[in-house]
């Protein structure tokens, strides 16, 4: 059985403000751990009115405080935006508060536009130092040496597990070289998925953190009781991608009956390419789609985006996905065994 996790977008909608989006993320996480999901991640995005996860470490603390077992992490922190020392302090603190539950996924993209990058007091050239910054961050999370004059307090010794995120060959090569788990962003950049996985696995070097390759694959899945209803729910995400192409990032929109009335043929083609790794439909459709993707990629884990407008319908989507993949049944068996012991 392929493990399933969640990439939570912390969407601000036309009916839900930022506080509501943050509370919905926490609510989803509490249900997700009951349904058998392994982890829930949020991503660093800036200057996007429709996404409330810019202060990523604070959002993770909010989610983790409302859960007990599920792993909570960044998918990811855009490391060129920050001093590695500060990220070590933040995630080391999270690890002290929530032991053995924190993940730290790292990306080298800015997660924003160039104007906002300047507001962050960073330059595009910062990304060139990404490999060195990863190593520096890893060193601050390791146990401090006896003569080490600069320590990341209270991070030293937490050994928060690092992941490399990517949508190209670069991330795959770096994750392989450093012996770290690798997460590919095929939920919006699917073109290089298979070549990147091959590079990662073929070049992997064992490390203190990981002795063999571990690959996570991003996938959009929207589940509902019928294929027709799921396709309607999916129009929220389709409109969001069309808005990106128009340079009009805004709040999440409620689904519509006919997406063809919203986007142009060019926008449709662009969105179709970016959303090619999507599974939309009934539980039967989702079950078949998950099985096919797992077989094709050999993924150790799938991380699911279910960009559904209504919170109740989104919870239902994730529950149906868990059932379709078999992780809900496995979680129920495990819970019953624990209660009987």
> What does the buried/exposed string (b/e) look like for 179-211 if buried means 16 or more CB atoms within 10 Å of the residue's CB?
bbbbbbbbbbbbebbeebbebbbeebeeeeebe
- In 3D space, the residue among 199, 162, 198 whose CA is nearest the CA of residue 178 turns out to be 162
Task: Enumerate the β-bridge partners of residue 5.
Answer: 303
What is the CATH topology of the domain spanning 3-222+278-340?
TIM Barrel (3.20.20)
Question: What's residue 237's pLDDT?
Answer: 98
Q: Where are the domains of the chain?
A: 3-222+278-340
Which tens digits make up the pLDDT trace of 19-74? 999 999 999 999 999 999 999 999 999 999 999 999 999 999 999 999 999 999 99
Which tens digits make up the pLDDT trace of 299-338? 999 999 999 999 999 999 999 999 999 997 777 766 656 6
Which tens digits make up the pLDDT trace of 174-223? 999 999 999 999 999 999 999 999 999 999 999 999 999 999 999 999 99
Question: What's residue 204's pLDDT?
Answer: 98
Which tens digits make up the pLDDT trace of 211-229? 999 999 999 999 999 999 9
* DSSP code, position 7: E
Question: What's residue 340's pLDDT?
Answer: 64
- In 3D space, the residue among 18, 15, 6 whose CA is nearest the CA of residue 45 turns out to be 18
Q: Which CA distances in Å does 56 have to 74, 212, 277, 335?
A: 7, 29, 26, 31
Contacts of 58 (CB under 8 A, 6+ apart): none
Task: Judge whether 42 and 75 are in contact, CB under 8 Å.
Answer: yes
Mean pLDDT of 10-25: 97
E strands, the chain, in order: 3-8, 39-42, 71-78, 102-107, 162-166, 182-184, 215-223, 278-281, 301-305
What is the number of alpha carbons within 13 Å of residue 204 lying toward its C-beta? Answer: 21
């Amino acid at each position: 059985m392929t493990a399933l996790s969640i990439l939570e977008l912390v969407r601000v909608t036309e009916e839900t403000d930022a506080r509501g989006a943050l509370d919905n993320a926490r609510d989803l996480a509490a249900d997700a751990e009951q349904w058998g999901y392994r982890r829930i991640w949020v991503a660093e995005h800036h200057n996007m009115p429709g996404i409330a996860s810019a202060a990523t470490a604070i959002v993770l603390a909010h989610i983790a405080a409302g859960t007990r077992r599920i792993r909570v992490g960044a998918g990811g922190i855009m490391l060129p935006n920050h001093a590695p020392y500060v990220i070590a302090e933040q995630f080391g603190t999270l690890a002290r508060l929530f032991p053995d539950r924190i993940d730290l996924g790292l990306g080298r993209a800015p997660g924003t536009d160039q104007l906002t990058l300047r507001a962050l007091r960073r330059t595009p050239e910062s990304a060139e130092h990404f490999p060195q910054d990863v190593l520096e961050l890893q060193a601050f999370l390791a146990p401090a040496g006896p003569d080490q004059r600069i320590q990341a307090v209270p991070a030293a010794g937490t050994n928060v597990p690092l992941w490399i995120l990517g949508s190209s060959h670069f991330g795959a090569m770096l994750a392989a070289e450093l012996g770290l788990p690798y997460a590919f962003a095929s939920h919006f950049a699917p073109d290089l998925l298979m070549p990147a996985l091959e590079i990662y696995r073929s070049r992997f070097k064992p490390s203190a953190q990981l002795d063999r390759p571990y690959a996570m694959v991003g996938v959009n899945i929207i589940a509902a009781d019928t294929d027709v209803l799921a396709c309607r729910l999916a129009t929220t995400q389709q409109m969001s991608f069309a808005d990106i192409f128009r340079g009009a990032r805004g709040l999440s929109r409620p689904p519509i009956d006919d997406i063809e009335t919203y986007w142009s043929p060019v926008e449709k083609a662009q969105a179709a390419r970016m959303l090619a790794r999507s599974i939309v439909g009934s539980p039967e459709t989702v079950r078949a789609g998950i099985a096919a993707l797992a077989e094709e990629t050999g993924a150790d884990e799938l991380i699911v985006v279910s960009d559904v407008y209504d919170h109740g319908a989104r919870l239902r989507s994730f529950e149906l996905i868990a059932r379709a993949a078999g992780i809900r049944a496995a979680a129920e068996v495990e819970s019953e065994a624990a209660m009987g012991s």
